[in-house]
């Protein structure tokens, strides 16, 4: 039997965020079923990841971020959208808030939550915006943004014509009788409830360890798309049997069942030969595995979510899926994506190209990427990689920690950068782990780091989506705002300080040379080792040949991550290791 090879592009998402998040006391322990617990957890904790997802890496991924900084960014963003919706539609602030909520989907109870937030904060926001206070002033007045003693004032928009101190005092007078100012911004952690502790811990570990939350047989593969499910690694075809999963060698040529989930099993009645043997024997199937950061996971915030002039009922259709995928889109990534590109480029992901050459590779992909990942913290989730030396096919592993070893949001980012010596140690530890898990005949490719000076050079004087309507916010303003709050994904490159940008690029080059040294000097028993430059200049040239502009290769909302087009354009760049040579390509088997 040969089943359909095309991976379904399911948009199914869990029905999260019921009103238990807002009123947890109404539940008893008997009423809190697993689905309800999942709802409560995602609503209570995932919202805090909206802006921390793209934050700089730390040695410990579980280390708390500057939550006040991310709260401030989120507030300024939302208030900006409300103000601009009123401007675009020539409506009242009240009407613009209701319009925004009407655009949000019912899934995850996003629409309901929006209306409840309006009920709580709307009155004060209306008063302040009606008094011509901008988003910075509104958020400082409502104490979502705070200027601590001795710290600089962080603002996205140009300062008011009157002094900041006078403007803020005036704004506080407007809402001085508001009961909302007594409301604790910290809130309470829903997972602190005893009845929720265990399930919350399970979901937290699933996300931190990069394994599927819904995985009945614990084989690290799932039938569910998000929460580290098959958007991230091949879809399980039997979640009740741990011996059945993508990428394994067939069990007895899959005469009785599809043990490797490639859709091929059974016996051809014409000649009695198993289909798996007939189609796949000698075809050298290979899986593709990415060890990456937010770029590899394809971190993406849609411009439509924050651009008032583009907003409609269709703008937020994919928001629930994005939230349960940590604002990543691995199903569209340049390495493991299984859906067609949305940017008009015909070239496919590496996985789809391997699949096209050999359909026996169906579903054999793993995206082991994390927002904030680096060589320092990969050891915390590399165990989520699924490969058995004896039972599985060889794989091509791409190591692409392309940013966070030099990127962080600290006020002085240089001391926190990974040194070449430390990178050598970290990468060797990773390679030794791979050598103990990968089947013989595998290949490992080390990606170098890019020269991120491109960001400032091409974006700093362009208007950010939030500034396009009134021509008041450039990427230089955004970078300064994020750096001030110490929540920038990369202070070193997203900075007006040319010396700092140069130092960051110099360190990135040192780290790339270290990776190249490892590839040319180290040998391992179970895989060949290669090195690939992050040839950004070649990517730009290819993009310009297609009529594009360099700045279009960067995610417009965060002004940092490569967009969907950039990884796809990297095909064909030569890989070097002990001279220039290509990774061996398995034979075509279409």
Express each pLDDT in 80-112 by its tens digit.
Answer: 999 999 999 999 999 999 999 999 999 988 999
- Residue 565 has a pLDDT of 77
Contacts 24+ apart (CB under 8 A), 257-263: 258/3, 260/364, 261/221, 261/234, 261/235, 261/236, 261/237, 261/362, 261/363, 262/359, 262/360, 262/361, 262/362, 262/363, 262/364, 263/2, 263/3, 263/4, 263/5, 263/359, 263/362, 263/363
- Residue 347 has a pLDDT of 65
Tens digit of each residue's pLDDT (9 = 90 or more) over 285-306: 999 999 999 999 999 999 999 9
- The position carrying tokens 């996300």 is 207
- Residue 568 has a pLDDT of 60
Q: How many CB atoms lie within 10 A of CB 506?
A: 12
Q: 578 vs 402, 517, 584, CA distance in Å?
A: 22, 10, 15
Helix (H, G, I), strand (E, B) or coil at 239: coil
* Residue 580 in this model has a pLDDT that exceeds 60: no
- Residue 149 has a pLDDT of 87
pLDDT band at 174 (very low <50, low <70, confident <90, very high): very high
Rounded (10°) angle between helices 420-435 and 498-521? 40
Please give the helix or strand (H or E) that residue 227 lies within, else none: none
Tens digit of each residue's pLDDT (9 = 90 or more) over 498-551: 999 999 999 999 999 999 999 999 999 999 999 999 988 888 888 899 899 999
- Residue 346 has a pLDDT of 63
Percentage of the chain beyond pLDDT 70 is 81
Q: Which of 208, 206, 209 is nearest to 224 (CA)?
A: 206
Q: What is the CA radius of gyration of the chain?
A: 25
Helix (H, G, I), strand (E, B) or coil at 529: strand
Task: Give 473-517 as a DSSP string.
Answer: -BHHHHHHHHHHHT--S-TTTSSS-HHHHHHHHHHHHHHHHHHHH
Using the 8-state DSSP alphabet, how is residue 274 labeled? B
Query: Residues with Cβ < 8 Å from 127, sequence gap 6 or more?
Result: 174, 175
Average pLDDT estimate for 483-506: 98
- What's the predicted TM-score (pTM) here? 0.87
Is the model more confident about 42 or about 445? 445
- Residue 539 has a pLDDT of 86
Least confident range from 431-435, 436-440, 563-567: namely: 563-567
Q: Where are the beta strands (DSSP E) in 61-122?
A: none
Per the CB < 8 A criterion, the answer to whether 294 and 54 are in contact is: yes
What is the separation of C-alpha 546 from the centre of its chain, rounded to a whole number of angstroms?
27
Q: Which of 322, 32, 321, 53 is nearest to 199 (CA)?
A: 32
* Residue 58 in this model has a pLDDT that exceeds 70: no
Every domain range in the chain assigned CATH 3.40.50.1110: 286-451+502-569
Backbone φ, ψ for residue 528 (5° rounding): -85, 150
Dig out the tokens for 476 from the structure.
């230089």
* Residue 374 in this model has a pLDDT that exceeds 50: yes
Dig out the tokens for 573 from the structure.
């760049």
Tens digit of each residue's pLDDT (9 = 90 or more) over 230-263: 999 999 999 999 999 999 999 999 999 999 999 9
Tens digit of each residue's pLDDT (9 = 90 or more) over 121-154: 999 999 999 999 999 999 999 999 999 888 999 9
- Residue 113 has a pLDDT of 87
- The position carrying tokens 């005893």 is 194
**Active site positions, annotated:** 294
Q: Is the dihedral of CA 491, 493, 494, 496 positive or negative?
A: positive
Average pLDDT, the chain: 85
Average pLDDT estimate for 145-173: 95
Q: Where are the beta strands (DSSP E) in 519-559?
A: 527-532
pLDDT band at 194 (very low <50, low <70, confident <90, very high): low
- Residue 536 has a pLDDT of 82
Per the CB < 8 A criterion, the answer to whether 380 and 363 are in contact is: no
Task: Give 300-362 as a DSSP string.
Answer: ---GGGT-GGG--TTTTTTHHHHHTTTTB-GGG-TTT--SPPSSS--PPPHHHHHHHHBGGGT
**Top-level class of domain 286-451+502-569:** alpha beta
Using the 8-state DSSP alphabet, how is residue 2 labeled? B
């Amino acid at each position: 039997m040969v089943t359909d090879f095309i991976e379904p592009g399911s948009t199914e998402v869990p029905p999260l965020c019921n009103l238990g998040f807002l009123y947890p006391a109404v539940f008893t322990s008997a009423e809190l079923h697993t689905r309800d617990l999942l709802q409560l957890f995602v609503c209570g904790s995932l919202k805090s990841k909206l802006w921390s997802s793209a934050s700089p890496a730390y040695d410990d991924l579980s280390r708390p971020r500057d939550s006040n900084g991310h709260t401030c960014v989120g507030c300024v963003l939302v208030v900006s959208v409300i103000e601009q919706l009123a401007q675009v539609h020539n409506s009242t602030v009240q009407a613009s808030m209701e319009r925004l909520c009407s655009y949000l989907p019912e899934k995850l109870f996003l629409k309901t939550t929006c209306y409840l937030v309006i009920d709580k904060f709307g009155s004060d926001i209306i008063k302040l915006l009606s008094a011509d206070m901008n988003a910075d002033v509104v958020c400082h007045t409502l104490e979502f943004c705070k200027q601590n003693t001795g710290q600089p004032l962080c603002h996205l928009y140009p300062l008011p014509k009157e002094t900041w101190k006078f403007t803020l005092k005036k704004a506080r007078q407007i809402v001085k009788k508001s009961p909302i100012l007594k409301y604790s911004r910290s809130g309470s952690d829903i997972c602190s409830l005893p009845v929720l502790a265990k399930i919350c811990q399970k979901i937290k570990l699933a996300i931190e360890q990069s394994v599927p939350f819904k995985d009945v047989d614990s084989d690290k593969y799932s039938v569910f798309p998000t929460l580290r499910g098959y958007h991230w690694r091949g879809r399980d075809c039997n979640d009740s049997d741990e011996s059945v999963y993508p990428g394994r060698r067939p069990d007895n040529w899959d005469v009785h069942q599809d043990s490797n989930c490639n859709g091929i099993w059974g016996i051809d009645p014409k000649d009695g030969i198993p289909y798996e043997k007939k189609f796949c024997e000698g075809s050298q199937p290979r899986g593709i595995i990415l060890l990456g950061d937010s770029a590899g996971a394809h971190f993406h915030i849609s411009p439509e979510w924050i651009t008032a002039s583009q907003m409609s009922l269709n703008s937020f259709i994919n928001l629930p899926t994005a939230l349960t995928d940590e604002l990543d889109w691995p199903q569209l990534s340049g390495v493991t994506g299984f859906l067609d590109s949305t940017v008009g480029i015909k070239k496919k992901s590496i996985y789809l190209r391997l699949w096209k050459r050999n359909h026996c590779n169906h579903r054999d992909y793993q995206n082991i990427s994390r927002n904030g990942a680096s060589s320092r913290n990969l050891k915390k989730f590399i165990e989520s990689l699924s490969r058995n030396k004896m039972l599985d096919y060889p794989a091509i592993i791409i190591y692409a920690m392309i940013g966070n070893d030099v990127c962080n949001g600290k006020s002085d980012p240089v001391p926190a950068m990974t040194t070449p010596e430390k990178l050598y140690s970290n990468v060797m530890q990773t390679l030794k782990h791979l050598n103990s898990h990968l089947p013989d005949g595998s290949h490992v490719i080390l990606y170098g780091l890019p020269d991120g000076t491109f960001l400032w050079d091409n974006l700093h004087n362009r208007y950010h989506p939030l500034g396009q309507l009134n021509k008041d916010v450039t990427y230089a303003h955004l970078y300064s705002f994020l750096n001030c709050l110490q929540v920038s994904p990369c202070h070193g490159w997203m900075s007006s300080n040319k010396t700092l940008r140069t130092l960051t690029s110099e360190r990135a080059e040192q780290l790339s040379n270290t990776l190249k040294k490892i590839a040319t000097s180290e040998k391992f028993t179970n895989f060949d080792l290669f090195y690939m430059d992050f040839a950004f200049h070649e990517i730009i040239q290819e993009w310009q040949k297609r009529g594009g502009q360099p700045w279009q290769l960067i995610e417009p909302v965060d002004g940092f991550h490569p967009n969907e087009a950039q990884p796809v354009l990297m095909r064909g760049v030569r890989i070097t290791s002990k001279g220039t040579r290509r990774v061996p390509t398995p034979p075509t088997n279409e």
